Amino acid sequence: MKQSPVQDVRRLHRRLVLRSLRDHGPQPRADLARRLGLSPTTMTKVVAQLLGEGLVTEGGVESGAAVRVGRPSTDVRLRADARHVIGVQVGAGTVRLGLCDLRARVLRGDAFAFDLAGESPERVVARIAGAAAALAGDLLLGVGVAAPGPVDPAYRRNVLSVNLGWRDVPFSDLLEGALGVPAVVDHNVRAMALAEARYGDTAGADPLLYVYVRTGVGAGVVIGGRPFRPGTHGVAELGHLRVVDKGEPCACGATGCLETVAAEPYLAAQARLALGGEPVDPLAELAEAAGEGDGRAAAVLDDLVEHLATGLAGAVNLLNPELILLGGAFDRAPGALLDRLGDAVRARSFPVLRDAVRVRRSTLGPDAGVVGGAAVALDRLFYDA
């Protein structure tokens, strides 16, 4: 529906205030007005509208907090529990869901496994809808899916998922039909990067590069506070940078890709060779064995650091990230391994850029995918709506 210019301006002001409350916390309306360059009259109107919708509170004591002494607060604050979204992470054979508030905090979760060979994407999406319906209450704004692979420009279809063997899955149509609320889908690792930038413990680091090491090596970038969606398909294929000359063939058709020497299937194969037995968490088990003096495990980690650093240094020289976060297999890797990786990345990067970049573990941990789906939904259905 076409909106009048007045409605457009009102919506813009509403967005600006909600985002400022999300990013800068509770503040008096005078501070909000100053920060956003809005007049006191405009601010009065916007705050009245948001109070009417139940999205903010003003003054008094935050509900549940202890009685405060001294001057009563005049802060406008976001009511994080006023609306909910559901974040969904689709992995290779697993789905995780979380009901999240307006700060993308997970209130309740669910998960299920599916049979990659035996269940169609439509069947899996129907199961997602069933699980989401069981989690949802009457405050649900919508659903955000973090899917493995590129999505269409309207955030409605997962165009391709190599590791799942799925093509053109219309997540939004199927979920909206089943649940009756808006649904959006985005590339899983870009969603994780967005979640870290908006809701993680990243202190405004920008650009932010998120690297997800699982079945493959995926990357997501947030630049200038916005998810980076280059070109037609909007993906950054860090995992397919060539880091080994005359290396092993990769699923993409090239050889020596980072994914062939850093993803979990490779780490699991190396752990079987070095340690014997079937690893549950190959990277953590290799790191533990190396720490206990196992030379073969240490050699595998040396190669891993070398190859990842080569790929990440390429990303540093191109994008100049302030912060690189590693998630997935790295969620449980020792801090010393991340420190080594950081040193190796800096040693291979351009002098001025190397001083700016930090390499750390994901701050959202195993929830990054679910919070990622929620972050995409919140951006598209609430804070940018």
Residues that bind Zn ion (CB under 5 A): 240, 250, 252, 254, 257
Residue 257 C-beta: closest distance to Zn ion, Å: 3
Element (H, E) at 240: none
Nearer residue to Zn ion within complex by CB, 256 or 279: 256
Give least dist CB 263 to Zn ion, A: 10
Residue written as tokens 């202890």? 66
φ/ψ of residue 151, rounded to 5: -125, 165
Under 8 Å CB-to-CB from 219, ≥6 apart: which residues? 189, 193, 209, 210, 211, 212, 236, 237, 238, 239, 315
Our CB check for Zn ion shows the closer of 254 and 299 to be 254
CB of 65 to Zn ion, least distance (A): 52
Q: CB of residue 217 vs Zn ion: minimum separation in angstroms?
A: 9
Kindly tell me which of 131 and 241 has the beta carbon lying closer to Zn ion.
Answer: 241
Nearest CA to 378 out of 108, 179, 194 is that of 194
- Rounded CA-CA distance 196/322 in Å is 13
Phi-psi region of 290 (alpha: psi -120 to 50; beta: other; left: phi over 0): alpha
What does the alpha-carbon distance between residue 189 and residue 191 come to, in Å, rounded to a whole number? 5
Q: How far is the CB of 218 from Zn ion (least distance, A)?
A: 12
**Based on CB atoms, which residue is closest to Zn ion, 156 or 233?**
233
Pick between residue 72 and residue 253 the one whose CB is nearest to Zn ion: 253
Backbone angles phi, psi at 208, to 5 degrees: -120, 130
Provide the β-strand partners of residue 110. 97
CA 348 to chain CA centroid, Å, is 27
Min dist. Cβ of residue 244 to Zn ion (A): 11
